[in-house]
Amino acid sequence: MVEKVRDRKMDTPNARKALPARGKPYYRTIAKGLHLGYRKGQTGGRWVARHYIGGQDYVVETIADADDKLEANGTTVLTFSQAQDRARQLQADRHAPTPKAGPYTVNDALDAYVHWMEGKRKSARDTKWRRKLIEAELGDKEVAKLTADEIRKWHRKVSETPPRLRTKEGEQQRYRDLGTDSASIRQRRATANRVLTILKAALNYAWREGKVDSDKEWRRVEPFEDVETARVRYLSIAEAKRLVNACEPDFRSIVQAALQTGARYGELARLTVADFNSDVGTLTIGESKSGEVRHVVLTEEGKKLFGQLASGKEGTALLMTNAAGNPWGKSHQSRPMTDACAAAKINPVIGFHGLRHTWASLAVMNGMPLLVVAAQLGHTDTRMVEKHYGHLSKSYIADAVRAGAPRFGIEDTNVVPMEATNV
């Protein structure tokens, strides 16, 4: 995911109020050869993007209005963060490969899909890794001539392929042993399903872009059933306390933050003081995995924690840093997490993402509605929450049955009791 640039002079509408109106935009570099500009007028501002095209020349284009007076709507009115996304997308489109002549192949569809994902700030790493299982068999196939039978045969073949090991570029691909037990077969089929999902996503994108007339061939291909098992490991309250107490002071803060919010490591590492609203007790997660902004509601315990983390810091300062005062970076949490688990006698060791599972699991077991849990975690609906945590809800199945089962209004008997009369 692309890291957002912050600028205390342009981050918020209030900050931009202090800038004098002028014709020349206020620019901020957000990527190599790309600048986001804010042109301040007498009645409001507009976002512009400046692209370097070589020879010391730039192209400047207007993006949208700034959210100085109107609330951002994601299209015609944008926040500073949204304007960065739009500028990056425009740059990506500018440098997109020229459509090639000839048949549109599965490889072409995968290239276009990855390019789209990166433009939307979605992680394409997993797609790039798994697409190798698609390219060898289907990569050169013309999308318009691809049949359901071809996809089914490929899908079956992937499920019979031993798991790949990480291999250095240029070296021959290495594999694990091909297990024949039911668990190994189920795992390989689950992998084949995930690769099928990527293939379908790329082909659906090609269809939406008008590269192929119909999606019926891949729509007819079904994944293997009953192979996905929810892999959720979570801590009890007692284990969570032991873990927190076993952490070094700097790491303790981000572990506590994860337990209080259910947020991802990367989301927590980027939080600034301005993202914490002490008045209403919420955190604004501006860069989530889905690319959507969300607001995480805090308990009183959570408000107290983040109040302490924010105390005495400027609005642009990070809420949590490591012992050296530097941002928590990619994978910096792995070793401290392992050490803390060992010190807290938590075995097997739980990863940092397990703290997100811990928050969600305990919340569901305490009776929090699944829709609320989904909103806190940043899911657009309850499907993932139901899959991973639905079985933990004491009343989940009972409530669903009682709410949705049919009512017939049938009396216990068709015999009407006689009323006694006085003689």
Q: Options 3.90.120, 3.20.20, 1.10.3470, 3.30.160; which CATH number does 13-94 get?
A: 3.30.160
Give the confidence band of 320 by pLDDT, cuts at 50, 70, 90.
very high
Give the architecture (CATH level 2) of 237-403: Orthogonal Bundle (1.10)
Burial-class residue 255 by CB neighbours within 10 Å (0-12, 13-18, 19+).
Answer: buried
Residue extents of the structural domains in the chain: 13-94, 106-219, 237-403
What pLDDT sits at residue 153?
A: 96
Tokens of 363: 């919340």
Confidence of residue 422 (pLDDT cuts 50, 70, 90): low
Choose among 90, 133, 135, 127: nearest CA to 108: 135
Contacts of 409 by beta carbon, 8 Å cutoff, 6+ apart: none
pLDDT digits (tens, 9 = 90+) for 136-146: 899 999 999 99
The mean pLDDT of 280-300, rounded to a whole number, is 82
Q: State the sign of the Cα–Cα–Cα–Cα dihedral 107, 111, 117, 122.
A: positive
User: What does the pLDDT read at residue 386?
Assistant: 74
Q: What digits encode the pLDDT tens for the residues 90-99?
A: 888 776 655 5
Q: What is the pLDDT of residue 296?
A: 93
pLDDT at 423 over 60: no
pLDDT for the residue numbered 378: 87
What pLDDT score was predicted for residue 69? 87
Reply yes or no on whether the pLDDT at 269 is more than 90.
yes
Dihedral over alpha carbons 32, 35, 36, 39 (to 10 degrees): 180
